[in-house]
Structure 1
Amino acid sequence: MRLSARTQYALRAAAELAAAPPGPVPAEKIAAAQDIPRRFLDNILLQLRRAGLINSQRGPDGGYWLARPAADISLADIIVVVEGVSQDSERFPGVAEPLADVWGALRDYEQATLSEITLAHIASGSLPPL
């Protein structure tokens, strides 16, 4: 699986929010902690907010926080928001035809794994058995 820099930044920003104490976290703090360019981060946070994964508050005491508990947000939830859903169903000719089934099985495994791992796992540093 190949993830874009945008998706990696989104995952890192969400993990930062999951590990933060309760309350709004300023975008500047997220950007600095995760070494994410601020303008890029602003667009990612907007996308995550529009998808309902995070909330925001404006003002001097403003910032961002998770819209649901970290245990209820999987890595797959974030990836789908940023990358979209893959509709790969390529078929191969002749003797290579079974390769399509192999790629499909790999995608299913990736999806299942990413759906099991939550932001709470990442923030706590303890992944479920894989």
Structure 2
Amino acid sequence: MRISARADYAVRASLELAARTNCGDEPVKAEPVKAEAISAAQDIPHKFLEGILSDLRRGGIVVSRRGGNGGYLLARPAAEITVADVVRAVEGPIVSVRGERPNALTYSGPAEPLLPLWVALRANVRKILEGVTLADIAHDRLPAPVRELAEDPAAWRNP
């Protein structure tokens, strides 16, 4: 599985908004954050970020306000937005094979067991990304199963 720059930037931009706006479980009155500020804080190319923010807006992750005091805010509390929500808003399905969802594929012969393998992969990736919210990351409180996976030294090595 490969996490694209677009997905990485989208999550980082969303976290920047979470940290600056409604990072808790309740929405708060917050000032919108300008794209330039997000770009500078996270070292994301501004033009690239504008497209990402547009996708996040269409995906219901952020809202935008126009004007001198305009900018971007999370559309709902950070505790209600998962990493999967953000990735789907900019990339579409979490796991695909040749651009298709695994359940749309068919295999025959010795390749037939590939289908449940791809479905299992998708289920595990979704389980992690749907189980972590922006608030979890912004407050450095990753769920225990995620921390345990990350603490395994083998997880940090490339075979």
Normalising by the residue count of structure 1, what TM-score does the alignment of the two structures yield?
A: 0.91
Gaps spanning 5+ residues in structure 2: where?
Answer: 22-29, 146-159
Give the match for residue 17 of structure 2: 17
Give the match for residue 151 of structure 2: none
Give the match for residue 78 of structure 1: 86
- Find the partner of 2:131 among 116, 119, 126: 116
Distance of 1:63 and 1:75 partners within structure 2: 21
- 1:86-118 deviations in Å (ceiling 9; x for gaps): 413444443342232122111101111111100
- Find the partner of 1:127 among 135, 138, 142: 142
Q: CA RMSD in A?
A: 1.4
Q: Is the 8 A contact 2:102 2:115 kept in 1?
A: no
Q: 1:1-130 to 2 correspondence within 5 Å? A: 1-21=1-21, 22-85=30-93, 86=96, 87-89=101-103, 90-130=105-145
Q: CA deviation at 1:57?
A: 1.1
Q: What secondary structure is seen at the aligned counterpart in 2 of 1:56? A: strand
Q: What secondary structure is seen at the aligned counterpart in 1 of 2:144? A: coil
Q: What secondary structure is seen at the aligned counterpart in 1 of 2:73? A: strand
Higher relative contact order (CA 8 A, sep 6+): 1
**Greater displacement, 13-22 / 35-44:** 13-22
Runs of 4+ in 1 over 4 A off after TM superposition: none
Between Structure 1 and Structure 2, how many residues are aligned?
A: 130
Distance of 1:23 and 1:118 partners within structure 2: 21
Normalising by the residue count of structure 2, what TM-score does the alignment of the two structures yield?
A: 0.76
Distance of 1:107 and 1:14 partners within structure 2: 23
Distance of 1:106 and 1:40 partners within structure 2: 29
Gaps spanning 5+ residues in structure 1: where?
Answer: none
Letter in 1 for 2:9: Y
Letter in 2 for 1:114: L
